[in-house]
Amino acid sequence: MKKVLLAICALAICYSCKDNPVSKKIKETRDNVSNTTKAVKEMNKMGDDIKELQKMEPLTNEEFKEWLPDEVDGMKRIAYKAGQASYMKIASIEATYANEDKSKKFKFQVIDGAGQMGASATAGMRMMLSQDFEEEDEYKTRRTVKKNGNKAIEEYKKNNNNSEIQLMEDGRFYIKANGTNMDIDETWDAIDELDLDDLV
């Protein structure tokens, strides 16, 4: 009996040690199970949402252009493309903004998840956003966050102060924003100025 108790105590000590490979593996497995459960829930919800989105009319190029701001966070628009994916029957727009000396740039793309093709095109992103993760190395950080009620993926490159944010707005619009010489907070500030609510 004493041997059994000693063995149990030894195992408990091993599991409680953070650097222990066994406890690390258990944590990884637990995280994977949690992410898989979230993905299954999201798939069930997504099926209903996709049916609704497929019935909707995607925005036209003209509607996208009307919404497009001339200036974002003090940066002027220097380029835009509307309907790049229209050959696949997906409504989209992208635009680039820069400060006066072009040392700072903000670029974003919006894909409308409405219509048959749009709903399918944005489904993968929704699945990715159902996960929870955080990673960091000497070059970059990458993690999921919740901001303004939306789940997002933030990526920041430390060596050149570049950032990327991906999110779904209103369960319909996929947004990918890149900030050159902009940290995560600055890129979020620029996204906030886009008035994404006006797209609906």
pLDDT value of position 49: 83
pLDDT value of position 134: 96
pLDDT value of position 34: 66
Give the Cα-Cα-Cα angle 152, 132, 163 (nearest 5 degrees).
40
144's CB contacts (< 8 A; 6+ apart) are 129, 131, 132, 133, 134, 151, 152, 153, 154
Q: Which amino acid is at 93?
A: I
Give dist(CA 128, CA 186) in Å, integer.
24
Q: What is the DSSP letter of 104?
A: S
Dihedral-angle region of residue 137 (phi above 0 means left; psi in -120 to 50 means alpha; beta otherwise): beta
- Measured CA to CA in angstroms, residue 181 lies from 99, 157, 164, 169 at distances of 11, 10, 11, 25
Q: Give me 69's structure tokens.
A: 């701001």
Report which of 123, 59, 120 is spatially closest to residue 93, judged by C-alpha positions.
59
How many other CB atoms are found less than 10 A from the CB of residue 86? 14
| pLDDT mean for each 10 residues of the chain (200 residues) | 48 48 62 65 73 93 96 97 83 97 97 93 88 94 92 96 96 96 97 89
pLDDT value of position 119: 92
* 72 beta partners: 75
- In angstroms, the first-to-last Cα distance of the chain is 68
